[in-house]
Amino acid sequence: MTLDKQSKIYVAGHRGLVGSAIWNNLKARGYNNLVGRSHSELDLTDQNAVKDFFDTEKPDAVVLAAAFVGGIMANSLYRADFIMQNMKMQCNVISNAYSHGVKKLLFLGSTCIYPKNAPQPMKEDALLTSPLEYTNEEYAIAKIAGLKMCESYNLQYGTNYIAVMPTNLYGPNDNFHLENSHVMPAMMRKIYLAKLIHDANWKAIENDMNKRPVNPNEKLKAIIGEGNVDGSNSHERILKTLEFYGIYDNKVVLWGTGQPLREFLWSEDMADASVHVLLNVDFKDIIGIEKYSSVFYGAKADGAVDRNNSEGRGGAIPALGEIRNCHINVGTGKELTIRKLSELVVKAVGFEGTVEFDSSKPDGTMRKLIDVSKLHSLGWTHKVEIDEGVRKLFEWYKQSLQ
């Protein structure tokens, strides 16, 4: 199914890490009929608001890049939020996409969907074969539900909803908040702030805290009291806050042992892969059934296809057998340890202090390398390697503070 340049494409989460990169990638390809709404303009957890949006805009295609995300600490503190917020958003957007006749939908998940002890590298068919990693179980379950929604709508209704599962992402517009950001931006900001403390560069520290103030959790409130922490606070209150997150004068303490292996993908590469799939890959290409339309949709006597009648279709069609794991892994197929990543960040920042690892804190999954052979077979491979990407991210971060 082809989307022409005039197709209206709704990018949910268009200001986020991946959504903004997808938006820019589509623009660069000449797709200018794009629709986006910020969270303040459209709360995707509000069922009525989402329906009203689809009633008004009537998009031809949807990219569901919006999500409630965070690292190990956030996943541990806000378990209910991680499953409920993501489930609400997914259900509202996917159900309205179907009821409003959206031609193509791209759902973005995460490789945390795979079992904690899945064989490495993880193929798509490792899904649901053994228990998940406990620290991000709620987020993973929500994303599994999302990809299963796409798969099930395709099987029951003959829709064309594709789910892509990116590895750890980083890049422009990343989240650098100290509590709920992912490993690389959190590590980068901590190391940068430790350098600034050692340099006694309070103007830069205050600027950094003003750009991304800290909303203290209950544990931090017990130390510093009520109220957000920004550049207007006393130096003592700022330092106590930074120490709470393992940031000291010329020293940073990171969670875990530093031994877990992680794969990282530059967000603009992820966007390029996503748009490639959106424009060039259909559900039939993934499941490998040449006569998908006639088998799935059930051609009428005149040869036309009735997409609104699900009779005769579904996952139990004998001719199709069991269809599952139709999602697509998106990554580099390469990995490095968290300790090695910290060394790349130290080099990019120009940090001359020490980085320590607190082994009393959880590591999370020890290895999360994905198999990207399906993606490669569909015509896409990554371009940005990790050492170049870390340098590019730090340059972007510094520019964001100006």
Round to whole Å and give the CA distance between 177 and 127: 31
| DSSP summary character for residue 45 | T
Residue pair 84/90 in contact by the 8 Å Cβ criterion: no
Which of the following is catalytic: 139, 153, 161, 170?
139
Run of H or E residues at 329? strand 328-330
Q: Which residues pair with 358 in a beta bridge?
A: 255
Report the interhelical angle of 137-157 vs 79-99 (nearest 10°). 20
Could you tell me where the beta strands, DSSP code E, fall in 65-150?
104-108
Residue 89: partners with Cβ closer than 8 Å, 6 or more residues away: 12, 44, 45, 64, 66, 67, 68
Q: Is 297 a residue of the active site?
A: no
Q: How do 61-64 and 104-108 pair as beta strands?
A: parallel
The partner residues of 262 in beta bridges, in order of sequence, read 336
Report the sign of the C-alpha dihedral through residues 132, 138, 143, 144, in that order.
positive
Helix then strand count (H, E) for the chain reads 15, 13
Instruction: Indicate the pairing of strand 251-255 with strand 247-248.
Output: antiparallel
The 8 Å CB, 24+ separation contacts for 232-239 are 232/206, 233/209, 235/202, 238/205, 238/206, 238/209, 239/197
What is the residue type of 382? H
Annotated catalytic sites, by residue? Answer: 139
